[in-house]
Structure 1
Amino acid sequence: MKWFRNILGRVYAVYGIIIFVVTMLIMIFPIWLISFLPDPKKTAVFLNLARFWMGFYLPMVFCPVKRKGLHHFKKGQNYVVVVNHNSLLDVPVTSPGVPGPNKTLAKKEFAKIPLFGILYKIGSVLVDRNDEKSRKDSLEHMKAVLDMGMHMLLFPEGTRNRTEYPLKSFYNGAFILAIETQKPIMVGIVFNTRKILTPGKFFYAIPHAIQFHFLPPIETTGLTLEDLPALKEKIFVMMWDYYDQHAAQLA
């Protein structure tokens, strides 16, 4: 029955895209209006709209999100939030799923996409990964986001994990940012988005419930860049172990 599953997966993908486009066209005007506000209010209002949007869209495509560990976020404290990255679906799950205003890091090219680019201009720090100056400037922009009291949401694997393992190796950026700003790191782990959008399969999706878990934050007070390798390794092992222990039961 593999052929039947392939047909269903493509029919579902069409359904998911249609619902996304229709709901985006409804949401795009209010999002465009709030794009004229200053930050951090602009991002806060945008994310409230995004939470309403995704709170409708994801259940409509049979991919409800359940969050766990929200109590780890302390009132008045913002974080560098690091999350695993398995799918294109991770961004609409994680940005609205992190409580409070937050921005993520995104490729500058995304901002050029008609309509869709507005979302990235508001909700992201944009970077040209092929430009060294842009990469350096992005660090300062992320520090400014934290200075405004927002969270900075980052995928330390850099790109989507298409391997058979829970995680790919981490880049340094998220940990440099946390150390230099002395902000605690909030660890988030997303489950099952890879099951919805299977790597290597074009125009194919299968609905599945999603879990988004937060672990106790890691303090960086007093750490220096000399501590970066140990900090990165500590969080990598923490995320790997948690994913390994829970993935099967949440499948």
Structure 2
Amino acid sequence: MNIFKRIAGHLYFFAGMILFVATMLVVMLPAGIALFFPEPRRARIIHPTYKIWMSIFLPLVGCPVRRKGKHHFKKGENYVVVVNHNSLVDIPVSTPWIPGPNKTLAKVEMARIPLFGIIYRAGSILVDRKADASRKESFTRMQETLRLGIHLCLYPEGTRNKSTAPLQPFYDGAFIAAIRAQKPIVPAVIFGTKEILPNKPKLWARPKTIRYHFLEPIPTKGLSMSDRHELKEKVFRIMESYIIQHA
């Protein structure tokens, strides 16, 4: 990378962060108010708020989102949406553009960040991955979320994919949640975020259009826990093939 591109990328990153924080301060008010309401009303306040926020912020920084496959979401039904994870940019993209209120699973450490933690708590199911009791409670809350008719948005890779492979191996959690609730899984693929905010160089970014594609739902009706590994591998193969074909 030449020196001019590196400097431009660093300047773009810091300008984007300043704009993110400035717009976040406006969103804090409705997010803070939403915390006083129980679910599903809280999610119904938060989702359109975050969608409006990102519909303004992302185009302003040159990263508009183009969705495909919204028709897979049927009215009156809710889903477990599993999304690939390449970059921190995936977080403000994935949940706002799911058609309808949804909750995501998030590390409790993020909720401790001043100011930003309010927004995280309002839209997430928090989990302390180091505590068994917290992990068990998160499964209970995921089931309650699905029972209330709210979508779940989960990253089955568990963490950002910093490799050159299309996907990292999946964990079981999303598939256990879907089978327990007998809810269909919607595989979803985000393209472009790794190029916007790569792992290296640090504090460097660039503008790029983001593509967010929802694939055909996979039913779980009639499946049991013994089917979770087969279900996980099926979803993995579908998403991996789609990424390779459309990257």
Q: TM-score, normalised by structure 2?
A: 0.98
Q: What is aligned with 1:20? A: 20
Deviation at 1:228, TM superposition (A): 1.1
- The residue type paired with residue 71 of structure 2 is H
Question: 1:127-159 CA deviation, whole Å, 9 max, x = no partner?
Answer: 000111111111011000001110011000000
Q: What is aligned with 2:196? A: 196
Q: What is aligned with 1:64? A: 64
Paired residues of 2:95 and 2:102 also in contact (CA < 8 A): yes
Moved over 2 A (4+): none
Q: Which moves more between the two structures, 25-34 or 171-180?
A: 25-34
Q: What is aligned with 1:5? A: 5
Any residues of structure 2 matched to 1:136-147 within 5 Å, and which?
136-147=136-147
Paired residues of 2:189 and 2:213 also in contact (CA < 8 A): yes
Paired residues of 2:32 and 2:122 also in contact (CA < 8 A): no
Alpha-carbon separation, structure 2, partners of 1:37 and 1:126: 17
- The residue type paired with residue 37 of structure 1 is F
- The residue type paired with residue 25 of structure 2 is L
Q: What is aligned with 2:52? A: 52
Q: What is aligned with 2:212? A: 212
Q: What is aligned with 1:30? A: 30
- Unpaired runs of 5+ in structure 2? none
Deviation at 1:30, TM superposition (A): 2.4
- Unpaired runs of 5+ in structure 1? none
Alpha-carbon separation, structure 2, partners of 1:141 and 1:34: 18
Question: 1:176-220 CA deviation, whole Å, 9 max, x = no partner?
Answer: 111111100011100010000011321000110000000000000
Alpha-carbon separation, structure 2, partners of 1:158 and 1:200: 20
- The residue type paired with residue 62 of structure 2 is F
Q: What is aligned with 2:134? A: 134
Deviation at 1:122, TM superposition (A): 1.1
Deviation at 1:34, TM superposition (A): 2.3
Any residues of structure 2 matched to 1:63-142 within 5 Å, and which?
63-142=63-142
Secondary structure of the 2:119 match is helix
Secondary structure of the 2:66 match is strand
What is the total number of aligned residue pairs between the two structures?
247
Q: Percent identity?
A: 51
- The residue type paired with residue 45 of structure 1 is I
Q: TM-score, normalised by structure 1?
A: 0.97
